[in-house]
Each structure stands twice: as C-alpha cells, then as structure tokens.
Chain A
Amino acid sequence: MLVKGKKPLFQNFYFFETLTGMIITLKEFFLGKTVTISYPEERRQYSDRFRGQHYIKATNGVENCTACMLCPTVCPSECIHIEAGERNDKEKYPKTFEIDILRCCFCGMCEEACPKDAIKLSTITEMSASYRAVYDRDFLAEQRGNK
C-alpha cells in the first residue's frame, strides 16, 4: 500500500529530486575517487598481525615443534593432525604434521597455544587450490614469514 506522507509539493513532484540526484551521480562520475584495487597489479596492505597461511618455525634448521599436542587440542575446527616420534637425541618431534586447510578457520588459537613458538600464521593470503589441500610437514617447514 502506498503510505501517503505529508510532504511539500516540491518533493512530491519528484522531478526536482531526480535532478538533484542526477547532479550527485554526475559529480561522482567526474570527481569520484575510485575505490577499486586492480588486484594482480595493486594489492591491499594488510596488517602484520594478519593470520594467513601456516608454517612451523625452525631454529638452526630444526623445527621448534615438540609434538606436545596442544594445538590439535585447542583447535576449534579439529584440522591439525600430529603423530609424534622420537629423534636420536631422545627429543620428541612430529613425524607427521598435517593441517586440513579447508577446515581451518584461521582463528590463530594454535599459534597462541604453542609453548615453543613453533606453529605460526604468516601474512600470506593467496592459497587457493584446485584440490582438497592438506598441508604436510615438508610444506609447513618452509619458512614463509618472520613472526
């Protein structure tokens, strides 16, 4: 139903209101600042604290992870799968460390829970894949951030 409000005739006529709107759009056409980012050429600057693709931090070429199982415990989407093993120097280490990246919600809880500063979320955002990607230990061992 058309609700009839008490508007002045000037507004009710609609024509002048349309003209005002057209002046606004023309102003945007000539003077408006384009907000589009032309993606492959220009990129948005994200914060350094952005939570992106994972990696396991290494010290002197050995990953920090001791397979304490805190991150799979805290992970809300249960996407981290670790099998622990033992090194020759009796140090515990992850034999397999897999992240099902499709399930990951990038909450960063694993990063917070980690006592050894091992699992980290880098600032990388481009990680699309045409298959169901599961990040394995070799992939995660690449140092792709400086956190």
Chain B
Amino acid sequence: MTALEWYVTAAKIVLVIGLLLSVAPVMNWVERRGAALIQNRLGPNRIGPWGMFQIIPDGIKFMFKEDPIPKHVNGFYYFIAPIIVLIPACMTFAVIPFGDPITIMGQVFKMQTADLNVGFLYIFAMASLGVYGLIIGGWASNNKFALLGSMRSSSQMISYELSLGLSVIGMVMVFSTIELGPMVQRQAETLWQIGPLAIPKWGIFVQPLGCLIFIIVSFAEANRLPFDLPEGEPEIVGFHVEYGSMKFATFMMGEYMNMAVGSGLIATLYFGGYQLLPGFGLLLDSLQLSPTGYMWAKLALQNVSLGVKVGLFMWLFVWVRWTVPRFRYDQLMDLGWKMLLPLSLFNIFITAVMIYLGWV
C-alpha cells in the first residue's frame, strides 16, 4: 500500500469510529428530549440550548462516581463484558459504504472502511457476536436474575437472527450480490418512470415485505423497546443489574451504537444507502462545478444523504420505543417463530416467482 492509501484508510477509520462514538451522546439527548415531548413533559432543558449538553455533566458523574464491584462476581469477565458489547457494534459499521468511489491522484478509493467480499455474512457474524457481551455480563455477575436476562437475550437473538437472514435473502436474489457496495450502486437504477418522476430501485420498492421484516427484526437485534426483554428495566430484572457507573454507561453506549448500525443497515439495504435524496441531484447539477469539485460535492451530498437516512431511522427507533409497550416473552417468541419466520420464507417465495416471471 502506498502512503496515500494508508492516509485514506486511517481517515476513514477515524471518521467511522468517531461518528459512531459521538452517536451515543447525541442519541441520549434525542431520546430523553423526544420521550419528554411525546409524554407532554419538558425533559433536560438546563444545560446548553434545549438541554443539549446535559450529557457532559452526566458523563462526568459516570466517570467519578463510586464504582463498587460486588464480591461475588467473576472480576475479569465482569470487566470485559461491556467492552465486548461495544466492539462488534463498531466493527459492523465498517462495511457500510458511505459514498461513490472517488479518485485522488489517479487512484480509486472506495468510500467504505472495509470492502469485504463476504458482505452480509460479516454483518450477521458481528451481529451475533454482540450478544456474547450480554451473556458474559450476565454470567459473570453471578446473579440468577442477571443470568436469566442474558438467557432471554440469547434465545431472542437466535429466534430473530433467522428472520434477519431470511429477509435479506430476497435482496440478494434481486440484486444478485452479497456485497453492500454494488448493492447500493444498483439501487440507483430506475424502477418505474412515472412522467418526470423516476422511482429508484430502492430496496423498499422492490422488497416491501422484506423491508418491514428487516426493520422489525433490527429492533430485536438492537434490544430496543418493543423487544427489550434482555434488560427490561422497570419490571423484569435484566443482565446489567450488577453493573454501575461507567460500566453501565458503556452498555448503554453499546445499545445506541447497535441502534446506529441497525439504522445504517436499514438505510443501506432498503433505502438506497448513500444514493442522493430527492432534490439533491438537481442541486448538484445546478452548481456548475469542475469535474474534481463535482466529485467532492457529490461525495459531501452523498454523506449528507446517508446521514439524513440513518438519522431518520434512529428517530424511528426512539419513536417506536415511546409508543409501543414491551412484548411478553411468549408473545415475543410467537411473533418471531409464527409470524416473521413464515413471512420471510413467503417473501423469498414471492421474490423467486417474480424473478422467474421476469418482473424484477
């Protein structure tokens, strides 16, 4: 690798990790403020504009408060469990493309931290690894309620990972690739032309049922509210009952980062990824830039488009959390095995028929 390639790779890694780490404080504010406004309250409103910097004193408190470690825990695993939750979340985002390939000094760079040819398989592997942190945390806590919480999380993960994988198979059949980069590029094609309005070949228009299943399953994968059985803060005790201060905050950060990864995947697979939002294309053409400037402006607009899409889905996560009450455990299993699994199989069948008839 040349020096330039090293620099670009380092810049991409720093960008992705930095964005992911800064997602947690921002989402914390969005969640608290959004919840408050939905429930006709005010929420944090003292520090900074609209309470935006509330997370700073909270973080200071998390750092400096007493951090008691219960005597009965297994020290080493108790300590590494929050880190294990955090790392797969960071790693999954590496394969999400955030722009068209750009050319610097005659070299083409893919705007994707890691261009893996296994694509989805890597994402599924990492998504499954996330649950290990929960299980280790529950087991190392040496507390029966924490262990039950982590058991719930593992069985939930197994039930929903199945539908997750099967719902994406439809996309693989339509676009004939398992890599995310080519898949996003092919989503720019036009599906239907209605007068001047071109409907792009985004995943949601090709695979509406698969998209719905994928969104529902991402909620379960990120342990977010209709499916937050592993923690279940108010009534069923969760896996992090023995954790306090910064370790607990790390679990929370992991949850928000999983949310970001889930939103990134929904946006990339079903909503055109970095493809420009409606109207951005006209804006780009009206700027009259030189080829180099056009490339950079397009990259910037693509990043903004992906950011807006991911942000919208993060807001969807928050919105659903404060709308839908938690499922009971048998309802969760019923939904996973009796609804989502048959539906995703049905989706594969329908897609196969449509491909056979040449409609897609």
Residues of chain A at the chain B interface (Cβ within 8 Å):
2, 15, 18, 21-22, 24-26, 28-29, 32-36, 38
Q: Which residues of B contact A21 (CB under 8 A)?
A: 323-324
| Nearest CB of A to B91, in Å | 31
Across the interface, name the chain B residue whose C-beta is closest to A38: B42
Q: Which residues of A contact B39 (CB under 8 A)?
A: 28
CB-based contact A28/B38 at 8 Å: yes
Query: B41: CB under 8 A from chain A?
Result: yes
CB-based contact A34/B324 at 8 Å: no
Across the interface, name the chain B residue whose C-beta is closest to A18: B324
CB-based contact A32/B38 at 8 Å: yes
What is the bound-complex CA distance between A21 and B323, given in angstroms? Answer: 6
What is the bound-complex CA distance between A80 and B40, given in angstroms? Answer: 42
How many pairs, one residue from A and one from B, have CB atoms within 8 Å of each other in the complex?
A: 42
A interface secondary structure, majority: helix
CB-based contact B323/A22 at 8 Å: yes
What is the bound-complex CA distance between A26 and B328, given in angstroms? Answer: 25
> Interface 1/0s, chain B 305-334, versus A by CB < 8 A?
000000000000001101110001011001
CB-based contact B40/A25 at 8 Å: no
Interface-centre pick from B40, B212, B334 (highest chain A CB count, 10 A): B40
CB-based contact A32/B322 at 8 Å: no
CB-based contact B334/A2 at 8 Å: yes
Q: How many residues of B contact A (CB 8 A)?
A: 18
| Interface positions of B from 125 to 149, Cβ below 8 Å from A | none
| Nearest CB of A to B125, in Å | 30
What is the bound-complex CA distance between A21 and B38, given in angstroms? Answer: 12
| Nearest CB of A to B67, in Å | 27
CB-based contact B323/A18 at 8 Å: yes
Can you list 18 residue pairs at the A/B interface with Cβ under 8 Å? A2-B328, A15-B212, A18-B324, A21-B323, A21-B324, A22-B320, A22-B323, A24-B323, A25-B322, A26-B319, A28-B38, A28-B40, A29-B38, A34-B37, A34-B40, A34-B42, A35-B40, A35-B41
What is the bound-complex CA distance between A40 and B319, given in angstroms? Answer: 30
What is the bound-complex CA distance between A55 and B307, given in angstroms? Answer: 62
Q: Which residues of B contact A25 (CB under 8 A)?
A: 38, 319, 322-323
What is the bound-complex CA distance between A25 and B41, given in angstroms? Answer: 13
CB-based contact A22/B40 at 8 Å: no
Q: Which residues of A contact B320 (CB under 8 A)?
A: 18, 22
